Amino acid sequence: MAAPHLHLLLVLSLALSLCLLPDTARAQLRQNYYASSCPRVESIVRGVVQNKIKQTFVTIPATLRLFFHDCFVQGCDASVIVASTATNKAEKDHSDNLSLAGDGFDTVIKAKAAVDATPGCRNKVSCADILAIATRDVIALSGGPSYPVELGRLDGLSSTAASVNGKLPQPTFTLNQLTAYVCCQRTHPNRHDCSLSGAHAWILSL
């Protein structure tokens, strides 16, 4: 059973990688964004991801799914990682996010800690960029393609469970329902949405 699942992952991860390609709406993103402030950030994150995958294969689908749930709500701003407080219920505690595997969060947390522990890098790299890099790395390390990730995302300043309502397509959606959802809910529906949704549906089938 593992081999067919891995083959599906490679196909879907190739499609998912499209969502990290340059977008005219995000012209501020660029490669080598941290060239002067934290030049080793990508190799540091990759090392953490490699170790996590050695510990558990769940790291791969968990990170992919975390990225999906983050990007579909308020953009790729890592707001899904923010913890709830006594006065605010955050995105991660919305019913649609309760099934997110802890290994995805753990990957980002450990990678962020490793980056901040590097001289000169402390508080320089956003969790949003770390999640984007980690997603590319789980794809590549599982046998999928490696591709450049444009960086420069800012971490979200707001994370509320209410913001998730109606934003995530459900895994039970038919193709027609998914198409209608993307056209109605997304300002600029495109192949990236379909790629993310396909990967998400496969991940939930594991």
Q: Residue 49: CA atoms inside 13 Å, Cβ hemisphere, count? A: 26
69 carries an active-site annotation: yes
User: Residue written as tokens 């995805």?
Assistant: 104
76 — alpha (psi -120 to 50), left (phi > 0) or beta?
beta
Report yes or no on whether pTM surpasses 0.95. no
- Positions of the chain with pLDDT lower than 50, given as ranges: 1-27, 186-195, 198, 200-206
Of 69, 94, 192, 200, catalytic: 69
pLDDT at 107: 97
Q: What is the pLDDT of residues 153-162, one digit of tens each?
A: 999 989 999 9
